[in-house]
């Protein structure tokens, strides 16, 4: 990964918010990062998420999913 932990961890911890925030993208990763294109154009994903009926967005991106005890990022500081 070319994204430093100090940058990556806050993004992952709040990804449920980014997933429904219109216009959100991330271009802070290196050119060879395998997910770079997705992150650079993530606003398209957000647009599609926001077209879903609210109950489906809640299931897919609810805040309770990300910070769960079974989440591997929970123990990161």
Given this model, what pLDDT does residue 3 score?
85
pLDDT band at 41 (very low <50, low <70, confident <90, very high): very high
Using a pLDDT cut of 70, give the percent of the chain over it.
Answer: 73
pLDDT tens digit sequence for 51-76: 988 877 775 555 555 555 555 544 44
CA-CA distance, 6 to 57, in Å (whole number)? 28
- Decide: 42 and 18 in contact? Cβ < 8 Å: yes
Given this model, what pLDDT does residue 25 score?
96
Spans of all domains in the chain: 17-77
Given this model, what pLDDT does residue 60 score?
56
């Amino acid at each position: 990964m070319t994204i430093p932990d100090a940058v990556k961890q806050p993004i992952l911890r709040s990804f449920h918010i980014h997933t429904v925030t219109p216009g959100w993208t991330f271009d802070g990763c290196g050119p060879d990062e395998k997910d770079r294109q997705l992150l650079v154009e993530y606003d398209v994903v957000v647009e599609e998420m926001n077209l879903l009926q609210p109950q489906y967005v809640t299931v897919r991106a609810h805040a309770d999913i990300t910070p769960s005890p079974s989440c591997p990022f929970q123990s990161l500081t």
